Amino acid sequence: MKVITTIDEMQTIMNKERKNGKSIGYVPTMGFLHEGHLALMKQARKDNDLVVISIFVNPLQFGPNEDLDSYPRDFEHDSMLANEQHVDYIFYPSVKEMYPRPSSVTVTVNERTDVLCGKSRPGHFDGVATVLTKLFHIILPDRAYFGLKDAQQLAVVEGLVNDFHFPIEIIPVPIVRENDGLAKSSRNVRLTEKEREQAPVLYESLLHAERLILEGERDPKMISSVIEGMITENSDGVIDYIEMYSYPMLKELPSLQGKVIIALAVKFSNVRLIDNLILNLE
């Protein structure tokens, strides 16, 4: 495994590998790797000759009330985990390397951002789309891997790739879950013991909603009410949102049809958890 810190060297190596006929799988990260990231790397390893990950805490996607400096970083641990997954290259640039001067061009995302978590983070996905545009051009992957836990980000990335005609296949990877169904997250350690016992109700409520839909229920308001009742009756969490949209366009549906996402966010005392299910009703 080789760690590369400059854009010029990364582009030179990637161009050489592509000319040698190697397929490249790419996993973009901001570091502090967890099992969700490892699942992406494992899938990339299965599908490609080479696996590249990037570790870059992107300042453009942090809002004014989000502390960039306090974002957790542990490159030594990250590189050890990447090596265990047989990653070939880690692209690990500095902020100055990625943004040596104020940007003359940035990317603005016009769709798929005014719902779910994007409502409370204006400009966040503009930062994501801008840095991914840069990273895609630097690494030139055949495939890029994103977790379905952040389904809104995946939807935005698919829109970016389609609109700008990147020759990249976007591979969604299923949510990694604990044995009791709770979506794995580095934030789960911030749950109290009681909250950790309650937290699986998020996924249980989504599965119950899925059963109702498969039995023929199509009213988003009715399904949302059932989910809300399950969560409020079985946990101390405060619901941030329960929303249903078409996927990946993230448009409101008066009646559920086609491919849909059921997504929720719940605030506990020290952490906010998200989860979702995507169903194809065609």
Query: What is the set of active-site residues?
Result: 37
| Helix pair 220-234, 201-214: axis angle to 10 deg | 150
Structural tokens at position 115: 């719902």
176 belongs to an annotated ligand binding site? yes
33 belongs to an annotated ligand binding site? yes
153 belongs to an annotated ligand binding site? yes
Structural tokens at position 267: 């605030």
198 belongs to an annotated ligand binding site? no
What is the residue whose two structure tokens read 């790797």?
33
Cβ count near 96 (within 10 Å): 8
79 belongs to an annotated ligand binding site? no
150 belongs to an annotated ligand binding site? yes
Burial class (CB in 10 A: 0-12, 13-18, 19+), 189: exposed
127 belongs to an annotated ligand binding site? no
36 belongs to an annotated ligand binding site? yes
210 belongs to an annotated ligand binding site? no
149 belongs to an annotated ligand binding site? yes
181 belongs to an annotated ligand binding site? no
Sign, Cα dihedral of 122, 33, 207, 201: negative
37 belongs to an annotated ligand binding site? yes
| CA gap 160, 28 in Å, rounded | 15
16 belongs to an annotated ligand binding site? no
116 belongs to an annotated ligand binding site? no
Element (H, E) at 7: helix 7-19
| CA gap 198, 275 in Å, rounded | 14
Tell which residue, 81, 93, 165, 171, has the closest CA to residue 135. Answer: 93
The answer to whether 117 and 274 have CB atoms below 8 angstroms apart is yes
Q: Is beta strand 50-55 parallel, antiparallel or unpaired with respect to 143-147?
A: unpaired
Question: Helices (H), strands (E): how many in the chain?
Answer: 9, 9
Residue positions forming the annotated binding site for beta-alanine: 61
Residue positions forming the annotated binding site for (R)-pantoate: 61, 153
